């Protein structure tokens, strides 16, 4: 087992990893920018190294700064968390060369899944269902028009270097095609320095349902059931839950098997998530694979009663997994509490938190690095807390969440708490009939 893990991250996930390390008897190293000097991850780690100014590119995204911190503290593993360098293949490679374990899959796997055309081709070979569309890259308008006519409009153009909603465009008809392809290529080129595009049939009002998997270094892969992440706004998830109100045991088994097939086909090691689009006929299609621990891993932890960070560290150290998949025994919902103003288009609301009181009680979990007197810096992600409620049924879980949100006191900044309170009362949400389109028609009422 590792002796010392450096956490190449900040905020709640850095704290989350430190907590599990402590319980496993592993010592911890925090890294921090000057903006995070007063952060709890710095306080709770055994050692802390300042790695630079507030700007991410000069601190949490700087491979050389992180490696310097690894070197001076003699850490034998690095936990990347999510975001920042978590899916940076070059970073995983540098760690490997340096002889420090990157807690995650190999650089090759990260690279393979990071390129969406390669990922899709890999899934086709593994016989995992994918959305009908182009066979690899669409290079010309002529070629694109032909494929679009075959699969039928509307179609979607996606950048191979994209993901999480970036570099995508819907094409409604033949007349639109050329203009949309040009725009999409320009965007992709500017954002990723790679304008390669592929084409898919557009799936209308899909659900975003993802399967959590974990693979060990001995070739075993199991699944840990699903999370429904359909409640998103501009590709930012706001609420996640497990189990999905849309899945029955039969579909869960089918999707779980497909996710395992996907991961096994690449000899996957570590925790990972296979994202699927699920249409109204319950047909599912591979969308992307995330090669990191995700924000919403907590709802899975709650419903299967297992510490996923602990499992992640164990497999990274070479330990073997058991043979069984895990199925939800409870219902869990996570609300993301962001320093944003939901009444003004969710604009960022960083600043000084004058008072902070977390909800408590049975089935209530709050993962946060915030406290009264903490200042939310403007430089990073706006998420300041995750409120996770767990109960036996979805109905009870929603009632508990309503109660808990009502207890959350955060003063000094605006947060998404009022948004979630309104969501809990929404009839469609309560009925579980939510697709990725849901928030498009959702209007925040003044509070």
Positive or negative, the CA dihedral 99, 103, 105, 108 is negative
Q: Which residue has the tokens 């003044």?
A: 446
Sequence-distant (6+) residues with CB within 8 A of 375 are 38, 350, 351, 352, 353
Shortest Å, Cβ 134 to ligand MV4: 11
**Cβ proximity to ligand MV4, 202 vs 326, nearer residue:** 202
Shortest Å, Cβ 165 to ligand MV4: 4
Q: Which residue has the tokens 């010309």?
A: 140
**Cβ proximity to ligand MV4, 172 vs 235, nearer residue:** 235
Sequence-distant (6+) residues with CB within 8 A of 230 are 207, 208, 209, 434, 435, 436, 438
Known catalytic membership, residue 169: no
* Structure tokens that stand for 292 in this block: 């990191």
Q: Which of 248, 241, 304, 249 is nearest to 271 (CA)?
A: 304
Residues at the site binding ligand MV4, with contacts judged by CB under 6 A: 131, 156, 163-165, 200-203, 206, 208, 232, 235, 277, 287-288, 436
Shortest Å, Cβ 133 to ligand MV4: 7
Shortest Å, Cβ 157 to ligand MV4: 10
**Cβ proximity to ligand MV4, 36 vs 288, nearer residue:** 288
Cα–Cα dist 63/85, whole Å: 8
Three-state DSSP state, 343: helix
Tell me if the bond preceding 108 is cis, omega within 30° of 0: no
**Cβ proximity to ligand MV4, 51 vs 277, nearer residue:** 277
Shortest Å, Cβ 304 to ligand MV4: 23
**Cβ proximity to ligand MV4, 151 vs 366, nearer residue:** 151
Shortest Å, Cβ 425 to ligand MV4: 23
Sequence-distant (6+) residues with CB within 8 A of 155 are 133, 147, 148, 170, 171, 199, 200, 201, 202
Exposure string for 116-134, b = 16+ CB within 10 A, e = fewer: bbebbbbbeebebebbebb
C-beta of residue 151 within 8 angstroms of C-beta of residue 132: yes
Q: Please give the residue whose beta carbon sits closest to ligand MV4 in the complex.
A: 436
Catalytic residue among 227, 292, 336, 365: 292
Q: Which residue has the tokens 């995700």?
A: 294
**Cβ proximity to ligand MV4, 40 vs 423, nearer residue:** 423
Work out the number of other CB atoms within 10 angstroms of the CB of residue 305: 11
| Catalytic positions | 292
């Amino acid at each position: 087992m590792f002796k010392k893990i450096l956490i190449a991250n900040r905020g709640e996930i850095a704290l989350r990893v430190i907590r599990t390390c402590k319980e496993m008897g592993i010592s911890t190293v925090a890294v921090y920018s000057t903006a995070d000097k007063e952060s709890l991850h710095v306080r709770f780690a055994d050692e802390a190294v300042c790695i630079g100014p507030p700007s991410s590119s000069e601190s949490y995204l700087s491979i050389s700064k992180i490696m310097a911190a690894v070197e001076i503290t003699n850490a034998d593993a690095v936990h990347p968390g999510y975001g920042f360098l978590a899916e940076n293949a070059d970073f995983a490679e540098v760690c490997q060369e340096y002889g420090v374990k990157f807690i995650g899959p190999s650089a090759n796997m990260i690279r393979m899944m990071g390129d969406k055309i390669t990922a899709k081709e890999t899934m086709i070979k593994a016989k995992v269902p994918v959305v009908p569309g182009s066979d690899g890259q669409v290079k010309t308008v002529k070629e694109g028009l032909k494929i679009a006519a075959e699969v039928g409009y509307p179609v979607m153009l996606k950048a191979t270097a994209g993901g999480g909603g970036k570099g995508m465009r819907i094409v409604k008809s033949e007349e639109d095609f050329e203009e949309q392809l040009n725009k999409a290529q320009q965007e992709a080129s500017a954002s990723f320095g790679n304008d390669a595009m592929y084409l898919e049939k557009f799936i209308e009002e899909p659900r975003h349902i993802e399967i959590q998997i974990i693979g060990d270094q001995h070739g075993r892969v199991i699944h840990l059931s699903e999370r429904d992440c359909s409640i998103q706004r501009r590709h930012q998830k706001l609420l996640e839950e497990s189990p999905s109100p849309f899945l029955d045991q039969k579909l869960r088994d089918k999707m779980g098997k497909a996710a395992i097939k996907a991961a096994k086909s690449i000899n996957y090691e570590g925790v990972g998530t296979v994202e699927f689009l699920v249409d109204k006929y319950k047909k599912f299609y591979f969308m992307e694979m995330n090669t990191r621990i995700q924000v919403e891993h907590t709802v899975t932890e709650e419903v299967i009663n297992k510490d996923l960070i602990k499992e992640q560290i164990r497999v990274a150290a070479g330990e073997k997994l058991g043979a069984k998949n895990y199925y939800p025994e409870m219902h869990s919902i996570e609300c993301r509490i962001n320093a944003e103003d939901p009444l003004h288009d969710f604009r960022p609301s960083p600043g000084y938190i004058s008072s902070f009181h977390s909800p408590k009680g049975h089935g209530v979990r709050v993962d946060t690095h915030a406290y009264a007197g903490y200042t939310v810096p403007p430089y990073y992600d706006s998420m300041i807390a995750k409120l996770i409620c767990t109960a036996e049924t979805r109905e009870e879980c929603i009632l508990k969440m309503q109660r808990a949100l009502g207890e959350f006191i955060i003063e000094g900044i605006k947060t998404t708490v009022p948004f979630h309170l309104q969501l809990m009362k929404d009839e469609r949400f309560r009925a579980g009939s939510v697709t990725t389109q849901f928030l498009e028609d959702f209007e925040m009422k003044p509070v």
